[in-house]
Structure 1
Amino acid sequence: MFSALIETITGIILAINYLGILILMALESMIAPIPSELVMPFVGFLVATSKLSLTLAIIFSSLGTLIGSLISYYIGKFYGDKFIRKFGKYLLLEEAHLQWTEDFFKKNGEKTIFIGRFIPVVRHIISIPAGMGKMNLTKFVIYTLIGGTIWNTFLLFLGFILAENWTLIHKYSFIADSIIIILIAVIIAWYFMHVSKAFKRHKNNK
């Protein structure tokens, strides 16, 4: 499966170059199972062998990240509330959580979006709650571009340095990502239990 994924990603980039980078990074920002840890190091390898331009590679990867994030943002903005009303009860979520999300992104949106670009899993989904929270669009675009560009460029340069061994980046990042994902899962579980108890106390006090 891993080798098939590598073949697909490298095949797309080799076939349509910068457009392929843009499409793959857009999909990566839309919960698609396409790891940037495979896309950008391979791009770095191609830059190292003078098959791609460093500047254009960074520009198109950043545009892809932004486009995918904006699509997710608008999905959250226009359909997030409907999803919560219909399925929220199965996830221990209530409509009041929408107001909490909106307040959270008004206060912490910039740093959440920026930091989220460097965290596995989070960077795939963070744009949806940002849309649900109606985060200021201009700030969302700016911090998505800054965080996304830094992350993409970092991976590109790792691929540039490792050259033919660029796949090692995904191998070792997978281990680190797995540990982080477990920690995130624990935090999310704790959060839902904590918030649910808080809402129950709030209701009982009314």
Structure 2
Amino acid sequence: MLEQIIAVLATWIMGVISALGYSGVVLLMAIESACIPLPSEIIMPFAGFLVFKGEMTLLGVALAGAIGCVVGSIPAYYLGMYGGRPLVEKYGKWVLISHKDLNWADQAFAKHGDLIIFVGRLLPAVRTFIAFPAGVARMNMTKFVLYTFVGSLTWCYLLAFAGFKMGENWESLKVYFHEFHYIIAGAGLIFVIWYVRRHFKH
């Protein structure tokens, strides 16, 4: 079932990029960064494949991807700030999020937000949703945009370069990146278990 969904998405993604070029990359990466799980592991390697075919440039697709990430992240950031934060403050206790946790997140993003955003943009799955908690924590907007762009440019360039190097075999990259998704999901599950146990202890 999952493979069928990915196949349909891949066909649609390839159609959008083939029709719109760089604008298509911007659009798709904006969707992916707006908390909508559209796989950049298909978007950017296919763009790299088009670089291999001579239809695009590597720097061009990387910049387009990074710009799209910034465009999609901004509404997700403000959604976290104006929508997510009041909900967390009012109902957070029902999902084991205390005001102490919220204060900790505020301090973490204030002190290390640049590193959190940069690293988060290099992690599959995490990169899709990282803008929302940054908004909840009210991270400095200038830093948020800057490190979103830098981290996304790095990610987009690496994926596009991999697609370029793989040439006609770019689709085989999807297997490896989706396996990495499972690793990230497993790490996330371990964190959730630890978090729940810690809060019930208190």
- Give the conservation status (yes or no) of the 8 Å contact 1:81–1:95: no
Question: In the aligned structure 1, how far is the partner of 2:76 from the partner of 2:110?
Answer: 18
- Number of residue pairs matched by the alignment: 198
Match of 2:166 in 1: 162
Q: 1:22 aligns with which of 22, 26, 36?
A: 26
Greater shift in the superposed pair: 114-123 or 183-192? 183-192
RMSD of aligned alpha carbons: 1.6
- One-letter code aligned to 1:64: G
- Give the conservation status (yes or no) of the 8 Å contact 1:120–1:181: no
Question: In the aligned structure 2, how far is the partner of 1:144 from the partner of 1:182?
Answer: 25
Q: CA deviation at 1:92?
A: 1.3
- Show CA shifts across 1:61-107 (max 9, x none): 11001111112111111112222145423311234432221111112
- One-letter code aligned to 2:143: K
Question: In the aligned structure 1, how far is the partner of 2:21 from the partner of 2:164?
Answer: 16
- One-letter code aligned to 2:98: E
Q: 1:108 aligns with which of 84, 105, 112?
A: 112
1:37 and 2:41 are equivalent in the alignment: yes
- One-letter code aligned to 2:34: M
Match of 1:9 in 2: 13
- Show CA shifts across 1:1-22 (max 9, x none): 2211110100111111111111
Question: In the aligned structure 1, how far is the partner of 2:106 from the partner of 2:196?
Answer: 17
Q: CA deviation at 1:33?
A: 2.2
Match of 2:183 in 1: 179
Question: In the aligned structure 1, how far is the partner of 2:51 from the partner of 2:112?
Answer: 36
SS at match of 2:122: coil
Gaps of 5+ in 1: 201-206
- Show CA shifts across 1:27-48 (max 9, x none): 1112212111100000000011
Question: In the aligned structure 2, how far is the partner of 1:108 from the partner of 1:185?
Answer: 23
Question: In the aligned structure 2, how far is the partner of 1:70 from the partner of 1:94?
Answer: 26
Aligned residue runs from structure 1 range 1-206, under 5 A: 1-194=5-198, 196-197=199-200, 200=202
Question: In the aligned structure 2, how far is the partner of 1:83 from the partner of 1:193?
Answer: 23
Question: In the aligned structure 2, how far is the partner of 1:85 from the partner of 1:187?
Answer: 22
Structure 1 outlier segments of 4+, above 4 Å: none
Q: Which has the larger radius of gyration?
A: 1
Question: In the aligned structure 2, how far is the partner of 1:66 from the partner of 1:106?
Answer: 19
- Show CA shifts across 1:117-147 (max 9, x none): 1112211111111111111111111111111
Question: In the aligned structure 2, how far is the partner of 1:137 from the partner of 1:2?
Answer: 34
User: How high is the TM-score relative to the length of structure 2?
Assistant: 0.91
Matched-pair identity in %: 37
Q: CA deviation at 1:197?
A: 4.7
User: How high is the TM-score relative to the length of structure 1?
Assistant: 0.89
- One-letter code aligned to 1:90: W
- Give the conservation status (yes or no) of the 8 Å contact 2:124–2:180: no
